Amino acid sequence: MIVLEDNVLQENLLKLNNPRRLVPVNRTFYPSRKNMGPCSPLFGKVSIFVAFVSKSMKGHYRVAQQSLECYLKGVNYTVMMVDLDKDPRVQEKCPSNKQVDFLFYVDYFRGHCHVVITLPILFPFAVENGSLQLFFKKHCAASAYLPDTDWMLVLDADTGVVNPNHCVEEWIDDRVDIIFYERFFNWEIASGNYLVRNSEFGRNFLKSWGEWEFIQPTNWNGGDNGVLQLHILKYVLPGASQEAKNCNEIWHTAKDYDTYMAYVSCVKQALGATRLWPGKVRIYRRAHGWVRDGFITSDKWCDADFMLHGWKLQTVGQDGWESPFKQNLDPMKCGTGLSGWNWIPEKRVNASVIRQELAALERSAGKEHPKPARDLIYLTMPDVGICYPNCDKDT
């Protein structure tokens, strides 16, 4: 028998599906930043939260973090740099969570294997070595610091700012409490970067997400990213109980990346075309959030872009990396305006160029999508046969 969640998570689910505050009907408009002007605090205090493990930070992420430092010189956001191994509040609030230095596996494979480093290669190795917890501690830590702010932008350490002429508030939707986006190449709801409001819903969502570390399946499950797909489905569509059970079954039987993607596809089909659930969650469609994977356009960017994800290296040009910058940014030279932002001119392009590259990748990603993830779940799994006559009891 597959159990979706324990009693603690069930209690949090009940809390999250009974919001007490009034939700605005229309989104509050926030104007795009112009000419590096001020970012007005329309939604209250905004903080940027970056969790890290010190030994990883010493050998990775310098380019990304220097770009973030440069950006912060020109805005009034509060930055929270949290060492998951040493921070006192994290130790108090998240004593049971563990944090894996996942880049240990990246470095191991770079040093011992002549292969392209990808998640399908790394994840089974991490599973074999008892490292399924991945980044659950990060989400618990974010929930611990959330009361210090009104809105929190949680970032992976390898997320950098490519275009500082944006405000975080441009992506805040005050009709919801948590905001995610889809990864472009596989339609997965990304777990590393998100916006969250300091609310009961936001705090409980993050805390219960972190608690999945202790009840997640032990197969090829995608770690905190895999958990997030089902976590969202159950919170935004509590009446879709049979659909959640079907996706959960697929998730528990995944044995590699291809079969894991069948689970991701199952959740996406259950969620349908809806991307906003008032009082709860919004999911930006691919390439429309505040950040996207940089590699999909070889780190080219346009005015619509704000941040790029995947900058793990220390130095511009390292390992043949085509960075948007001529060299590492010097935060001491950054401040007002665009001082210190030393771009490669050819990397800044019109939106039409990015659109063409995204369209090409969209076509190829569709053609190359794993075969197990192409099934229509409502044709291959029951939505009535098991639960009849009580299939709609939670609706």
Q: What is the DSSP string of 209-238?
A: HHHGGGTS-SSS--HHHHHHHHHHHHHH-T
Count Cβ neighbours within 10 Å for each residue of 14-43 and write b for 16 or more, e otherwise.
Answer: ebbbeeeeeeeeeeeebeebeebeebeeeb
Of all helices (H) and strands (E), which one includes residue 93? helix 88-93
Strand 281-284 relative to strand 178-181, pairing: parallel
Q: What are residue 161's phi and psi, to 5 degrees?
A: -90, 125
- Which H helix or E strand runs over 181? strand 178-181
12-16, 134-138, 189-193, 326-330: least confidently modelled range: 12-16
Residue 3 has pLDDT above 80, yes or no: no
In angstroms, what is the C-alpha Rg of the chain?
21
Q: Is 386 left (phi over 0), alpha (psi -120 to 50) or beta?
A: alpha
Q: What is residue 326's DSSP assignment? A: S
* Element housing 51 (H / E): strand 46-52
Unique residue bearing structure tokens 């104007």: 31
Which residues are paired to 194 by β-bridges? 154
pLDDT tier, 25 (very low <50, low <70, confident <90, very high otherwise): confident
Kindly report, residue by residue over 71-86, the tens digit of the pLDDT: 999 999 999 999 999 9
Q: What pLDDT does residue 100 have?
A: 62
Cα separation of 164 and 70, whole Å?
Answer: 9
For residue range 305-340, list pLDDT tens digits in order.
999 999 999 999 999 998 999 999 999 999 989 999
Res 115: pLDDT: 39
Average pLDDT over residues 268-294: 98
Q: What is the pLDDT of residues 141-157, one digit of tens each?
A: 999 999 999 999 999 99
Short-list 280, 182, 273, CA closest to 229: 182
Determine how many CB atoms are found less than 10 A away from the CB of residue 119.
15
Q: Give bridge partners of residue 160 from the DSSP assignment.
A: 308
pLDDT number for residue 2: 41
Gap between the Cα atoms of 176 and 27, Å rounded: 9
Pick the residue with more confidence: 114 or 181?
181
Say yes or no to pLDDT of 109 above 50: no
pLDDT given for residue 393 in this prediction: 87
Task: For Cα atoms 155, 342, 184, give the angle at the middle one, nearest 5 degrees.
Answer: 40
Helix H or strand E encompassing 107: helix 103-112
15 has a pLDDT exceeding 80: no
**How far is it, in rounded angstroms, from Cα 242 to Cα 262?**
17
Residue 123: helix, strand or coil by DSSP? helix
Q: With CA atoms as reference, report the closest residue to 282 among 47, 48, 8, 23.
A: 23
CA 251/CA 171 separation, integer angstroms? 31
The domain locations on the chain are: 8-17+41-380
Q: What angle do CA 100, 104, 106 make, to 5 degrees?
A: 120
pTM for this entry: 0.89
Cβ 230 vs Cβ 247: under 8 Å: yes
C-alpha 172/C-alpha 290 separation (Å) is 10
Residues 6+ away with beta carbon under 8 Å from 333: 339, 340
Number of continuous H segments (helices) and E segments (strands) in the chain: 13, 10
From its phi and psi, is residue 49 left (phi > 0), alpha (psi between -120 and 50) or beta?
Answer: beta
pLDDT-based confidence at residue 12 (cuts at 50, 70, 90): low
Contacts of 34 (CB under 8 A, 6+ apart): 165
pLDDT of residue 92: 97
